[in-house]
Structure 1
Amino acid sequence: MTQGPIRTLPMLGITHGNRNPVTCHLRCGDACAKPIPNQSGAPSFRDVAAGALSRRSALGGALVLSVAAATLSESEAAAATGNNLTFGAIAPATADIDQVRVPAGYRWDPIVRWGDPLFVGAPNLTAAGTDPAAQEQQFGYNCDYLDVLPDRGSTTRGVLVANHEYTNENIMFAPDADPALVARTAMAAHGFSPVELRRSGAGKRWSYVVGGRRNRRITATTPFTLDGPAAGSELLKTAADTTGRRALGTLNNCSGGTTPWGTIVSGEENFNQYFLCTGDEREARYGLGPDGDERGWRTVDPRFDATGSAYRNEPNRFGWVVEIDPENPRSTPVKHTAMGRFKHEGANITIDAATGKAVAYMGDDERFDYLYKFVSKGTFDGSGTAAARAANKRLLSAGDLFVARFTGDGLEDGINDGTGIWIPLTRGGRSMVPGMTIDEVLVYTRLAADKVAATPMDRPEDVQPSPKSGRIYVACTNNSKRGATGLPGIDEANPRPANKDGHIVEITEIGGAHTGTRFRWNLFLICGDQSSAGTYFGGHTGPVSPISCPDNLAFDSRGNLWISTDGQPSAIGLDDALHCVEVAGPLRGRVRQFLSVPAGAETCGPVIHDRDGSVFVAVQHPGEGGSWEAPQSHFPDYGSGVFAGPRPSVIQVTRR
């Protein structure tokens, strides 16, 4: 038989740095080798000469001590972390070690792995892999966003929810696999997996329940409701859905969040690589074009061919924030058009104390794209009744959408900081962008943000409001094109040309209201290692662990920021990892590495239950550069399972 369509990898050998080219090809469609989608020419808000970082950050080499000094005592660690999660930082390692590394006194265990059966009678993953019917009943591939939600009032029951970003057909299938089977199985391996959990008591290890009441698979063919102001728009209608209100499936789900009312929201990110398009101006702004659909899905489902009139709008039905209810496996998940369409990393929601409105912070994960905020029209009902939960589930269906513009206050004070404004794109269900209708603003949100001169950022990914301080933290992963010819130069909020290590911006809403339109900002971390020029660790002058390419963010009960990384091998040559960082007090900016993931893997979806003494992460794409015939990782079974290659998995770290 012929090979599956994805098994040719034209990107190999063309990536920047040392990052695995297979990851670039499969997850983001070789974005780093293609033209920047943002060709609006938007200038950076304050161009400064190359290398003119703040005086404070330029001293970074002196601030960062040796990696060997990063291990701290239990008493030092206890000052800043929960009582049940004290640890000594581990030293980083090179990126070719095929193991999970955790601090002394801790252990890790898989909870659920790709191919594990979720339903009674569902098959296990076999030595031959899986097929479409089996995969629809098994845990999906490449888990990214993650949460572990104990049931109210219980320490022994709960539910785990993970999404599944993309697939690696080179590892999942034998070289002679039927292309149609490969495509349909890959479609079934995308989406979400809500899974019930059980354990014997607080602080113990969780196990997933086969046949749990809340177990569910959401895939690339599951029906979704499109809601909000753009629902029913001509821009969302296709031959298969003449109403523009019912989409099939969700694709390339990256990070996400758990809402205060107990649902899960997730962002559809690099959806462009699934569609064959003509590549007009509006499509090109989203990276859509004639080089799409590299997985060959259009051979088994015509909606992935958007070159004709029948499915021209199908790509417009992706790129949204989606919401699922893990408590009701029969519910129809929703795509919220009010929150705008772009390459959502995720959405993280807080309730504004003064107004009760739900406020979502969102990053558009593309070089030179933007930071957004959504403010709900309705208010949160915290009474806990069934009626209140039903009403809260409608909060993301209507509201106002904003995009950020940053202003630096100059480098004379030696600090990278300034103020900013949230520019309205929609308000009261109406467009605030001249020349664009409300439908156009929401379907082509990137173009709307271009028009109002938002600030182009260095790949804003996860955006997390602190539950303790209310400050917002923005992970800007990297941007190798910053300062390149014809593209925005460096500025105070994006201070490094060819930014390979990334940075984290700290935002404080002026007046403390998340619904406001003005904010202050500063650079909290300028990432790198002790030899990186311009590194800055929040003012901390003691030992820190090196960190590069911040991606997902989380908080523990003490308000410490936890950062997982994506792509460190391309920057500082070390393993992708999870770090704990103090954000306040005398240890503000101290970075300590908690764990690292196996060869080729990325650390995703950190969940910190420090009072319970547990940390959870999704280990995504282990052994990414390998193949069916020659795997490069054997995580997590290491030869004890029937499948020879690696299996993306959710793991739990606990004390021994």
Structure 2
Amino acid sequence: LLVMNHEYINQGALHPNGPTAAAGNGGVRPEDEVRKEIAAHGVSVVHIKQDSEGTWDVVFGSPFNRRITGGTEMDIRGPVRGNAKLVTKFSPNGTETRGTLNNCSMGPTPWGTYLAAEENWHGYFANSDANQPREQTRHGVNDSSRYDWELADSGADAYVRFDVTPGGGDATSDYRNEANTYGYMVEIDPFTPEAKPQKRTALGRFGHEGVIFAPATEGKPVVCYSGDDARFEYIYKFVSAQPYSAATAGGYLLDEGTLYVAKFNDDGTGEWLPLSLDDADFAAKVTAANGTMVGDINFDGFADQADVLLNTRLAADIAGATPMDRPEWGAVDPNSGEVYFTLTNNSLRTEDQTDAANPQAENRTGHIIRWTEANSDHAATSFDWDIFVFGGEQGTETVVDGEAVVTLDDDNIFNSPDGLWFDYNGRLWIQTDGSDAAPYQNNMMLAANPVTREIKRFFVGPVGCEVTGVVTTPDVKTMFVNIQHPDANWPFGTEGDHPRDATVIVTRNDGGVIGA
């Protein structure tokens, strides 16, 4: 089963004549265009099969083929389930919602399900009220939305829910809390088509880029990592309260546990700071911050742990986490257990804001950071870190102990590392989503040796694209790579056709292992 996210849409490619703007259409958008755009978001499960000649194709009519969209009904699970701040007209008890949006990276669970990440969900909602709650302001919800879905001309409930401006009644009469049902990791069971997707709130609410699980060990907690893809945001880790058992493991393991946020010290050590009111140090910081300005928010405390998770970014601010240069994908080395994260870029970081983990002011080319958990235990609360590689033009060096361990040249220059994945043989695959100006040109995928730090360019994508998402068959002889928002009518190459996102299948001419 090939499962993939559909992060966002290219309106010009989706509609034959382009989208109808509300501004020139009496302040409304045609319902059918909005319906189509919502349906184009979400996740696809596609049953594929390879024939005797090596050709892959879709198994049409398979019961596994399905779409999870921006309108699919979903359950809220974990500590935030039933909270008053999730009450809506659709779900008066705050236990359900509709849809998942802006799904970026993903994470396969140890029990064989799929987690889709809700990243820039905030842009889909509009709130024209002068006083917005912190659950919206800390994420950037404003008085207009990206696609104006709330302005569908039918006025149907499925569309007006994207207007989160409070009405005259209580929360059961409008959608003031609809945005609070987004910003989570969403668990989907590809092998059970009738299964309802689950939003796992214990993993925090923020701009999830994706999630990566540490190898699951019988009798030990489940551990997973997630980055918040925005400038000066954080890296998180979740440790389950219950131990893993292969015989019974399931999504319930993600509903109880401790969410931590990373602090990278300048001496190469790090700490995992718990975001739990049951932790004395965090509770003391919350008490001390009460009545003060935390960033742009006049902080007045947390009502309970559900409130902490609803406001994960704010909780991390108070805990004292290290603001990072847009943490995106993570990967765990299957051989060493080291954890890698891409820090894509941050052009807004000033010289005064640099630190050892984010040492570049106006960081436009990004870097990859990695760490080893104390005692090789992924549930540990401390770690040691270093920078694996800096992106940049020819001659860019990554220096360790006074020696350049990587020097980029014509064959491996890159910028803005984004996608990251270890294959079954321990190769690290790096995908980029950055500037296509000289000397970098198109975005690309590279392969890296985590031990020697040797990096080689594997392929270059089409003009205008982001290279995003990679997986191989278990024998590492077939690779699936996604190409997002290409230009120049790719892959058709004929004038007048719209460009299309696509999954590219890579094999070797000799039938061997990819990257060998």
Fold conserved (TM > 0.5)?
Answer: yes
* Maintained 8 Å contact 1:253/1:266: yes
Q: Residues 317, 572 of structure 1: CA spacing in aligned structure 2 closer, same or farther, 3 A cutoff?
A: farther
Q: Find 2:366's aligned residue among 491, 502, 516.
A: 502
CA distance in 1, matches of 2:474, 2:405: 25
* Maintained 8 Å contact 2:7/2:103: yes
Q: Find 1:166's aligned residue among 1, 4, 8.
A: 8
Q: Find 2:405's aligned residue among 530, 539, 546.
A: 539
* Pairs within 5 Å for 1:2-81: none
Q: How many residues align?
A: 465
CA distance in 2, matches of 1:286, 1:422: 23
Q: Is 1:637 paired with 2:487?
A: no
Unaligned runs of 5+ in 2: 21-28, 153-158, 168-173, 287-300, 510-516
Q: Residues 189, 535 of structure 1: CA spacing in aligned structure 2 closer, same or farther, 3 A cutoff?
A: farther
* Pairs within 5 Å for 1:373-522: 373-383=237-247, 388=248, 391-409=249-267, 418-426=268-276, 432-433=282-283, 434=286, 435-436=301-302, 437-483=304-350, 489-522=353-386
Q: Please report how far the alpha carbon of residue 610 of structure 1 lies from its aligned counterpart in structure 2 after TM superposition.
A: 7.5
CA distance in 1, matches of 2:281, 2:35: 39
Q: The residue matched to 2:112 in structure 1 has which SS?
A: coil
Unaligned runs of 5+ in 1: 1-158, 410-417, 624-632
Q: Is 1:319 paired with 2:183?
A: yes
Q: Residues 572, 395 of structure 1: CA spacing in aligned structure 2 closer, same or farther, 3 A cutoff?
A: farther
Q: Name the structure 1 match of 2:463.
A: 599
Letter of the 1:308 counterpart: P
Q: Is 1:560 paired with 2:427?
A: yes
**Identical-residue share of aligned pairs (%):** 38
Q: Is 1:259 paired with 2:128?
A: no
Letter of the 2:272 counterpart: W
Q: Residues 639, 535 of structure 1: CA spacing in aligned structure 2 closer, same or farther, 3 A cutoff?
A: farther
* Maintained 8 Å contact 1:509/1:516: yes
CA distance in 1, matches of 2:407, 2:67: 48
Deviations 1:30-69 (A, max 9, x none): xxxxxxxxxxxxxxxxxxxxxxxxxxxxxxxxxxxxxxxx
CA distance in 1, matches of 2:120, 2:68: 18
Letter of the 1:634 counterpart: N
Q: Please report how far the alpha carbon of residue 353 of structure 1 lies from its aligned counterpart in structure 2 after TM superposition.
A: 3.6
Q: Residues 501, 406 of structure 1: CA spacing in aligned structure 2 closer, same or farther, 3 A cutoff?
A: same
Out of 360-369 and 170-179, give the one that drifted further: 170-179
Q: Name the structure 1 match of 2:292.
A: none
Q: Is 1:207 paired with 2:62?
A: no
Q: Is 1:240 paired with 2:90?
A: yes
Q: Residues 318, 430 of structure 1: CA spacing in aligned structure 2 closer, same or farther, 3 A cutoff?
A: farther
Q: Please report how far the alpha carbon of residue 281 of structure 1 lies from its aligned counterpart in structure 2 after TM superposition.
A: 4.2
Q: Is 1:296 paired with 2:148?
A: yes
* Maintained 8 Å contact 1:529/1:535: no
Letter of the 2:95 counterpart: R
Letter of the 1:209 counterpart: V
Deviations 1:243-299 (A, max 9, x none): 111010000000011111110002100011110024444422101111x31311102
Q: Name the structure 1 match of 2:137.
A: 284
CA distance in 1, matches of 2:372, 2:328: 18
Letter of the 2:271 counterpart: I
* Maintained 8 Å contact 2:218/2:246: no
* Maintained 8 Å contact 1:549/1:565: yes
Q: Name the structure 1 match of 2:418.
A: 551
Q: Please report how far the alpha carbon of residue 634 of structure 1 lies from its aligned counterpart in structure 2 after TM superposition.
A: 2.0
Q: Residues 514, 427 of structure 1: CA spacing in aligned structure 2 closer, same or farther, 3 A cutoff?
A: farther
Q: Please report how far the alpha carbon of residue 188 of structure 1 lies from its aligned counterpart in structure 2 after TM superposition.
A: 0.3
Q: Please report how far the alpha carbon of residue 426 of structure 1 lies from its aligned counterpart in structure 2 after TM superposition.
A: 2.4
Deviations 1:50-99 (A, max 9, x none): xxxxxxxxxxxxxxxxxxxxxxxxxxxxxxxxxxxxxxxxxxxxxxxxxx
* Maintained 8 Å contact 2:398/2:405: no
CA distance in 1, matches of 2:445, 2:133: 40
Normalised by the length of structure 2, the TM-score is 0.85
Q: Residues 192, 430 of structure 1: CA spacing in aligned structure 2 closer, same or farther, 3 A cutoff?
A: farther
* Maintained 8 Å contact 1:187/1:219: yes
Q: The residue matched to 2:353 in structure 1 has which SS?
A: coil
* Maintained 8 Å contact 1:353/1:513: no
CA distance in 1, matches of 2:140, 2:281: 24
Q: Please report how far the alpha carbon of residue 321 of structure 1 lies from its aligned counterpart in structure 2 after TM superposition.
A: 0.5
Q: Name the structure 2 match of 1:181.
A: 32
Q: Please report how far the alpha carbon of residue 621 of structure 1 lies from its aligned counterpart in structure 2 after TM superposition.
A: 0.5
Q: Please report how far the alpha carbon of residue 425 of structure 1 lies from its aligned counterpart in structure 2 after TM superposition.
A: 0.4
CA distance in 2, matches of 1:260, 1:192: 19
Q: The residue matched to 1:655 in structure 2 has which SS?
A: coil
Q: Please report how far the alpha carbon of residue 495 of structure 1 lies from its aligned counterpart in structure 2 after TM superposition.
A: 0.7
Out of 426-435 and 316-325, give the one that drifted further: 426-435
Letter of the 1:323 counterpart: E
Normalised by the length of structure 1, the TM-score is 0.68
Q: The residue matched to 1:166 in structure 2 has which SS?
A: coil
* Maintained 8 Å contact 1:205/1:654: no
Q: The residue matched to 1:404 in structure 2 has which SS?
A: strand
Q: Name the structure 2 match of 1:224.
A: 74
Q: Please report how far the alpha carbon of residue 350 of structure 1 lies from its aligned counterpart in structure 2 after TM superposition.
A: 2.0
Out of 327-336 and 237-246, give the one that drifted further: 237-246
Letter of the 1:283 counterpart: Q
Q: Is 1:615 paired with 2:472?
A: no
Q: Name the structure 1 match of 2:212.
A: 348
Q: The residue matched to 1:446 in structure 2 has which SS?
A: helix
CA distance in 2, matches of 1:539, 1:533: 7
Letter of the 1:372 counterpart: Y
* Maintained 8 Å contact 1:619/1:651: yes
* Maintained 8 Å contact 1:381/1:392: no
Q: Name the structure 1 match of 2:44.
A: 193
Out of 250-259 and 553-562, give the one that drifted further: 553-562
Q: The residue matched to 2:161 in structure 1 has which SS?
A: helix
* Maintained 8 Å contact 1:468/1:559: yes
CA distance in 1, matches of 2:474, 2:412: 20
Q: Name the structure 1 match of 2:26.
A: none
* Maintained 8 Å contact 1:224/1:249: yes
Q: Name the structure 1 match of 2:289.
A: none
Q: Residues 646, 583 of structure 1: CA spacing in aligned structure 2 closer, same or farther, 3 A cutoff?
A: same
Letter of the 2:499 counterpart: P
CA distance in 2, matches of 1:538, 1:345: 31
CA distance in 2, matches of 1:232, 1:430: 26
* Maintained 8 Å contact 2:80/2:306: yes
Q: Residues 235, 430 of structure 1: CA spacing in aligned structure 2 closer, same or farther, 3 A cutoff?
A: farther
Q: Residues 451, 601 of structure 1: CA spacing in aligned structure 2 closer, same or farther, 3 A cutoff?
A: same
CA distance in 1, matches of 2:416, 2:4: 22
Q: Please report how far the alpha carbon of residue 572 of structure 1 lies from its aligned counterpart in structure 2 after TM superposition.
A: 4.4
Deviations 1:435-473 (A, max 9, x none): 322111110100000001100000000111122211000
Letter of the 1:395 counterpart: L
Q: Is 1:646 paired with 2:499?
A: yes
Q: Residues 429, 246 of structure 1: CA spacing in aligned structure 2 closer, same or farther, 3 A cutoff?
A: farther
Q: The residue matched to 1:506 in structure 2 has which SS?
A: strand
Q: Name the structure 2 match of 1:12.
A: none
User: Alpha carbon RMSD of aligned pairs, Å?
Assistant: 2.3
CA distance in 1, matches of 2:380, 2:56: 41
CA distance in 1, matches of 2:49, 2:470: 20
Out of 425-434 and 368-377, give the one that drifted further: 425-434
Letter of the 1:399 counterpart: G
Out of 525-534 and 425-434, give the one that drifted further: 425-434
